[in-house]
Structure 1
């Protein structure tokens, strides 16, 4: 079992000194990875804290850490231009020394998608096509033709350090997300799931895998879960018994004055013991 930390891109963490202190504290505490989310523009109201743009936040984290892996998840893939995004992710992988993991999803906030020029109905098709276009660029293919994006006579250099590309994790709890994970993902990410909900999702994934052709080159599907709040040691073991490979602890809901102590506490009670 590995442990990640989610949320150093929002709330008080938008202050550079706070972000640096907490990132280095998590790395020292033994967290395997730091994760940031991707929302560019959200409807006004409560539950919309200040947040940094995901790739810029990861670039900053790459510069102030040395060992911890860096995860973007879930990046809302249909609202990103895939040729540019492939270059940005490659640059992050190179500058971090091959520490990047990319988790993708189709998105669900309709006003945000519309603001980025994407309809809700197209988001699934765009997600699949954008992922294929990025893989073509990472494979140095000089052309790609699709419904939403096409290019020819171009390549990108340098290549990602991790070959053929950084690990791709697919998020989402829908049948389409399960199929996408089985067909194309190195891993699957479930958000806010307790142990029982995780068991149900993994059974659905297993059922999907029996019906879909998974490329042998992808290997076994790695399972990442964000639980609803920091788990205790017994709960961690229950997740592990289900086959979960990584738990990502979310900072939202933890009083800001307690975040630093929670990072240290999780390191002492879970990371070191597990």
Structure 2
């Protein structure tokens, strides 16, 4: 499904859960329009939006939208800078894509803006997370892989400037395969703040069965140990 459409639906049928996509591919989207769409989601959900961002990795998909693989990083940096400018400045001037001043109204409910979680495992993505992200998102990483990536993030803390206003970098990981109590506990020891889980529907598995099994086999045990 298209991420923003799905999140808008979820915003309408929920009231407390946080809303996020892992991740929005920034080079595929117009940053001015995306800033307005994300602002609308944050306002309509009463400040529940988390903005997951990435450069994308599917070459055919990027090519279909006119984005060369070699330009992903630059377009992501430029797009995020434009979005943040629209969110935090009353008015921003034009550039090659927009030849007039743009006013963002309303502004997001969350101040100064919704949290930005940067996805990716490359050195450039990790540095981007440290530099501008409220959090980092690891995609389908085992606890061992997560540990290595978190150590790389920590090693970047000194050479990569990070604004004090961002605070500690939150760690979110999408778990691969079947999640067990051991996986949850291992990720917690590493410092993972949020673990994303879900069913593998490619084999016809039903989400309801996954939820029941996860509640029974994992959540009950984790809750009893806390």
TM-score (norm 2): 0.92
> Is the 2:27–2:67 contact (alpha carbons within 8 Å) kept by the matching residues of 1?
yes
Aligned to 1:91: 40
Q: Which 5+ residue runs of structure 1 have no aligned equivalent? A: 1-51
- Provide the C-alpha distance between the structure 2 equivalents of 1:151 and 1:229, rounded to a whole number of angstroms: 47
What's the secondary structure of 1:230's corresponding residue? coil
1:122, distance to aligned residue in structure 2 (A): 0.7
Structure 1: which 4+ aligned runs deviate by more than 3 Å?
Answer: 148-152, 253-258, 267-272
Q: Considering only aligned residues, what root-mean-square deviation do their CA atoms show, in Å?
A: 1.8
C-alpha contact 1:130 1:149 (8 A) present in aligned 2 = no
1:50-93 CA-to-partner distances (Å, cap 9, x unmatched) read: xx211011111111111111111211001100000000000011
Alignment coverage as a number of residue pairs: 222
Alpha-carbon distance in 2 for matches of 1:141, 1:117: 31
Give, in angstroms, the shift of residue 152 of structure 1: 4.2
CA deviation map 1:232-260 (0-9, x unaligned): 11221111000000110132357444420
Deviation, 1:210, is: 2.1
- TM-score normalised by length of structure 1: 0.76
Cα contact 1:169–1:188 (8 A) shared by 2: yes
CA contact (8 A) 2:198 2:210 kept: no
CA distance change for structure 1 residues 155 and 265 in 2, over 3 Å: closer, same or farther?
A: same
Matched, 1:109 2:58: yes
Shift of 1:269: 4.1
Q: CA–CA distance in 2 between the matches of 1:175 and 1:164?
A: 27
Residue 6 of structure 1 is matched in structure 2 by none
| Other-structure match for 2:169 | 221
User: Which segments of 5 or more consecutive residues in structure 2 lack a partner in the other structure?
Assistant: none
Matched, 1:79 2:4: no
